[in-house]
């Protein structure tokens, strides 16, 4: 009986407690915050014309009938219903962001991302309103139309990440010194002058600082002592800044993992104190005027992944101390380095890019390169390499190579069939989306992007991707001889091939017709004989063809891209004939392909075949224009309209990338 009473008491208490707690609301969004968001929506418009894409977040879908915590780009607290996060980045928003904007009424915001839109306004006015967000931790206003100076009013002490890149900021915001800020991005702005020692002190919590693409001219000390990422790329820094900033008596930047100070006007020697940064993963001092020798102590940086010293004035030999298995990218091109390529690099088994071009290296082809199974880019151009290319290689050697540039050296001998057969990465089936070339490193703790230069279509192109990169082979300006092996035709992913200015003989292999991705082919200034293979008409992407200064004979093929090349593509081949040359072919050598068989109706001057063609063509034009007008004025079917727009966008971006080149 006592037990029964106890059970009844517990049940009564449970019912009382449950009845005293309000049931969870199906609509967490607070009305006044929903109204603030809807009012913000009325102050902006959505226009993706300039961006050429669809908005990441569809603000137009926000409406009062749906809980605002379910809206795209809005995050609410699960308990209180307060709006704590807004992400409207890349949403094609157009408008002005004034101090009285209703967005600033959302006092519980913890993160706000309005980056990559077309919002306008004063940074001084808008950032002074952000102190209302007492709990704000992340703020991103990058790539908008803001201007002016960042307000010096205190931000939230909880603020950890700020991105004002591409906002026309003109002054370094030193008032962040005493905050708890960890990441600050001020890249692509208009910050000029110098950063004094006083402005650089403090910043105890700062882990990432990006000041790239500004107009800084002087730097007394690097901001922050605990930085893991420092990017000063593309400024106007000049003089021996590295020597003054890297005072060995000041133990700063010991935790630095990525240090980028490329494309400035730095002078002086390589500071040996950098060798003490044991955590360094990326070191980029490229495109400066640094001189002296490269110190041997760099080989002690066991975590180094990327070393870029290109386009400086370094002299002497490449250090023989590289024994780092993790080194992936080594770029020492465009210096004045001499001597041999150190065999210690054979220990860098993870090496993907090796660029030693434009130096004064004197050596045979480093045959130990064959042991680097991950090597994708090999550039040795404009040096003094000599001797023959490797003939006897294992089946796995050079299998990952996607770019090989040995041009402007003194290589002799023939081209090895075995070597060509090993280039498996050049035999991979071409990928339709292989048009954009980014070198990104998502596994690194911070973002790093780098480029690779290749010369193609008579222009120098800057590529920026290593996985799935532009596929090219350049052996021009050497003393190679003999016939071209037919195995070249197996490299079906090649987009650029240059064998010009050598001593190659024999016919052009008919297998060249298999190189269906080829965009540029230069075989000029050799001793090729015979005719131009008709199979090469299949190269429908070919934009540049140079067969000049050879001993070619016979008719020039017609069709596809061959109808677009001018006389210069065939000059100084006395035996060639047919268009575009003025020399006509005899014995029907240059006759056009036979016309299709047709049947003529009696009394008709137009063949029946062409009558059918013209009738079909005329009908197709009328029907196509009518349907096109209906589809694109009604927007139906939506999937077809979207596909056409996306195809147009893809082709447009492809055209932009192909024309974004730099003259050699």
pLDDT tens-digit map of 431-443: 443 333 334 444 4
The pLDDT score that the predictor gives to residue 467 is 39
pLDDT tier for residue 201 given thresholds of 50, 70 and 90: confident
The pLDDT score that the predictor gives to residue 618 is 57
Of 231 and 617, the structure prediction assigns the larger pLDDT to: 231
Q: Is the predicted pLDDT of residue 620 greater than 80, yes or no?
A: no
Distances (CA, A) of 170 to 125, 215, 475, 588, 613: 15, 9, 48, 72, 65
The pLDDT score that the predictor gives to residue 303 is 93
Distance CA 626, CA 330 (A): 58
Distance of CA 141 to the CA centre of its chain: 23
CB 493 within 8 A of CB 406: no
The pLDDT score that the predictor gives to residue 593 is 42
Q: What's the sign of the alpha-carbon dihedral 361, 363, 365, 370? A: negative
The pLDDT score that the predictor gives to residue 74 is 95
Interval 142-154 mean pLDDT: 79
3-state secondary structure of 15: helix
In the numeric block, the tokens 């449950």 are attached to 18
The tens digit of pLDDT for each residue in 451-472 reads 555 554 545 545 544 334 689 9
Average pLDDT, the chain: 80
The pLDDT score that the predictor gives to residue 141 is 92
Q: Is the predicted pLDDT of residue 157 greater than 70, yes or no?
A: yes
Beta bridge partners of 378: 354, 404
The tens digit of pLDDT for each residue in 304-319 reads 999 999 999 999 999 9
Interval 143-150 mean pLDDT: 83
Share above pLDDT 90 across residues of the chain, in percent, rounded to a whole number? 52
CB 154 within 8 A of CB 129: no
The pLDDT score that the predictor gives to residue 636 is 45
Interval 317-324 mean pLDDT: 87
CB 267 within 8 A of CB 291: yes
Q: Which of 395, 441, 435 is nearest to 418 (CA)?
A: 395
pLDDT tier for residue 420 given thresholds of 50, 70 and 90: very high
Tell me which CATH homologous superfamily contains domain 28-190.
Ribonuclease Inhibitor (3.80.10.10)
Tally the C-alpha atoms within 13 A of residue 610's C-alpha that lie toward its C-beta: 7
The pLDDT score that the predictor gives to residue 250 is 55
- Around Cβ 568, how many Cβ atoms within 10 Å? 13
Of 171 and 601, the structure prediction assigns the larger pLDDT to: 171
Beta bridge partners of 338: 317, 360
The pLDDT score that the predictor gives to residue 52 is 56
pLDDT tier for residue 133 given thresholds of 50, 70 and 90: confident
Query: Which range in 30-39, 49-58, 332-341 is most confidently predicted, on average pLDDT?
Result: 332-341
Of 207 and 394, the structure prediction assigns the larger pLDDT to: 207
CB 71 within 8 A of CB 24: no
Interval 31-41 mean pLDDT: 93
Across 70-74, 219-223, 299-303, least confident range: 219-223
The pLDDT score that the predictor gives to residue 635 is 45
Interval 347-362 mean pLDDT: 96
CB 664 within 8 A of CB 454: no
Helix axes 608-634, 638-659, angle to 10 degrees: 100
- The H-or-E segment that residue 419 falls in is helix 417-422
In the numeric block, the tokens 């495109």 are attached to 287
Residues in Cβ contact with 518 at an 8 Å cutoff, skipping those fewer than 6 apart: 494, 495, 496, 497, 539, 541, 542
Radius of gyration of the chain (CA): 33
Distance of CA 373 to the CA centre of its chain: 24
CATH architecture of 211-363: Alpha-Beta Horseshoe (3.80)
Share above pLDDT 70 across residues of the chain, in percent, rounded to a whole number? 74
Of 67 and 631, the structure prediction assigns the larger pLDDT to: 67
Distance of CA 547 to the CA centre of its chain: 33
Of 71 and 2, the structure prediction assigns the larger pLDDT to: 71
pLDDT tier for residue 622 given thresholds of 50, 70 and 90: low
Residues in Cβ contact with 641 at an 8 Å cutoff, skipping those fewer than 6 apart: 631, 632, 635
Of 357 and 155, the structure prediction assigns the larger pLDDT to: 357
Distance CA 629, CA 616 (A): 20
Distance CA 344, CA 324 (A): 9
Using DSSP bridges, classify how beta strands 215-219 and 192-195 pair: parallel, antiparallel or unpaired: parallel
pLDDT tier for residue 490 given thresholds of 50, 70 and 90: very high
Across 37-51, 148-162, 545-559, least confident range: 148-162
pLDDT tier for residue 224 given thresholds of 50, 70 and 90: confident
Give DSSP secondary structure letters for 67-108: -GGGSTTEEE-TTT--EEEEE-TTS-EEEE--TT-GGGG-TT
Of 487 and 588, the structure prediction assigns the larger pLDDT to: 487
Distance CA 164, CA 82 (A): 26
Tell the burial category of 174 from Cβ atoms under 10 Å away from its Cβ (0-12, 13-18, 19+): middle
Q: Which of 149, 135, 98, 97 is nearest to 119 (CA)?
A: 97
Domain with CATH 3.80.10.10 in the chain: 28-190, 211-363, 386-593
Of 541 and 603, the structure prediction assigns the larger pLDDT to: 541
Q: Hey, what are 63's tokens?
A: 């409406």
Backbone angles phi, psi at 275, to 5 degrees: -65, -10
Beta bridge partners of 147: 122
Query: Which range in 217-221, 274-278, 280-284, 626-630 is most confidently predicted, on average pLDDT?
Result: 280-284
The pLDDT score that the predictor gives to residue 4 is 46
Topology of domain 386-593 in CATH is: 3.80.10
Across 150-159, 329-338, 430-439, least confident range: 430-439
């Amino acid at each position: 009986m006592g037990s029964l009473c106890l059970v009844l008491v517990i049940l009564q208490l449970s019912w009382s407690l449950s009845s005293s707690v309000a049931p969870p609301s199906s609509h967490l969004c607070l009305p006044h915050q929903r109204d603030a968001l809807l009012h913000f929506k009325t102050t902006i418009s959505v226009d993706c014309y300039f961006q050429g894409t669809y908005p990441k977040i569809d603000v137009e879908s926000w409406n009062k009938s749906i809980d605002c915590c379910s809206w795209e780009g809005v995050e609410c607290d699960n308990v209180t219903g307060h709006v704590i996060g807004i992400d409207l980045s890349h949403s094609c928003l157009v408008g002005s962001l004034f101090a009285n904007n209703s967005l600033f009424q959302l006092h519980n915001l913890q993160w706000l991302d309005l980056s990559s839109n077309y919002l306008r306004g004063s940074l001084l006015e808008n950032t002074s309103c952000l102190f209302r967000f007492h709990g704000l931790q992340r703020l991103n206003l990058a790539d908008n139309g803001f201007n002016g100076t960042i307000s010096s009013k205190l931000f939230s002490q909880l603020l950890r990440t700020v991105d004002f890149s591409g906002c026309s900021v003109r002054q370094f915001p030193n008032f962040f010194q005493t905050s708890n800020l960890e990441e600050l991005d001020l890249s692509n702005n208009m910050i000029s002058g110098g950063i004094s020692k006083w402005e650089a002190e403090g910043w105890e919590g700062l882990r990432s600082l990006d000041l790239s693409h500004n107009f800084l001219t002087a730097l007394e000390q690097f901001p922050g002592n605990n930085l893991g990422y420092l990017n000063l790329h593309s400024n106007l820094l000049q003089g021996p800044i590295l020597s003054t900033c890297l005072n060995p008596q000041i133990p700063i930047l010991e935790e630095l993992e990525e240090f980028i100070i490329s494309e400035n006007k730095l002078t002086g020697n390589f500071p040996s104190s950098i060798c003490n940064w044991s955590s360094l993963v990326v070191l980029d001092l490229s495109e400066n005027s640094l001189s002296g020798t490269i110190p041997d102590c760099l080989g002690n940086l066991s975590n180094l992944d990327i070393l870029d010293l290109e386009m400086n004035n370094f002299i002497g030999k490449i250090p023989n101390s590289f024994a780092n298995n993790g080194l992936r990218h080594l770029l020492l091109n465009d210096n004045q380095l001499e001597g041999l390529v150190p065999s210690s690099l054979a220990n860098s088994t993870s090496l993907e890019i090796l660029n030693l071009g434009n130096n004064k290296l004197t050596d045979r082809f480093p045959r130990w390169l064959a042991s680097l199974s991950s090597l994708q880019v090999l550039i040795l151009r404009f040096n003094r390499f000599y001797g023959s290319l490797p003939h006897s290689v294992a089946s796995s050697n050079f299998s990952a190579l996607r770019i090989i540039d040995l041009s402007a050296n003194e290589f002799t001998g023939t081209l090895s069939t075995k070597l060509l057969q090993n280039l498996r990465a050049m035999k991979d089936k071409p990928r339709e989306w292989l048009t954009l070339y980014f070198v990104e490193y998502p596994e690194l703790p911070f973002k790093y992007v780098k480029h690779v230069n290749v010369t193609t279509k008579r222009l120098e192109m800057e590529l920026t991707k290593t996985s799935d990169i532009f596929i090219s082979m350049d052996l021009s300006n050497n003393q190679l001889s003999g016939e071209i092996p037919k195995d070249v035709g197996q490299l079906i992913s090649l987009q650029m091939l240059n064998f010009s200015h050598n001593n190659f003989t024999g016919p052009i292999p008919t297998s060249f017709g298999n190189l269906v991705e080829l965009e540029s082919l230069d075989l000029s200034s050799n001793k090729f004989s015979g005719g131009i293979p008709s199979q090469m008409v299949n190269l429908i992407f070919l934009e540049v063809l140079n067969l000049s200064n050879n001993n070619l004979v016979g008719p020039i093929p017609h069709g596809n891209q061959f109808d677009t090349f001018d006389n210069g593509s065939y000059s100084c081949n006395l035996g060639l004939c047919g268009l575009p040359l003025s020399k006509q072919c005899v014995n029907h050598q240059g006759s056009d392909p036979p016309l299709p068989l047709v049947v003529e109706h009696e009394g008709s001057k137009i063949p029946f075949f062409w009558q059918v063609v013209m009738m079909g063509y005329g009908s197709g034009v009328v029907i196509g224009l009518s349907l096109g007008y209906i589809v694109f004025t009604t927007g139906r079917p939506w999937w077809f309209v979207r596909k056409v727009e996306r195809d147009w966008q893809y082709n447009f971006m492809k055209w932009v990338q192909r024309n974004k080149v730099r003259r050699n």
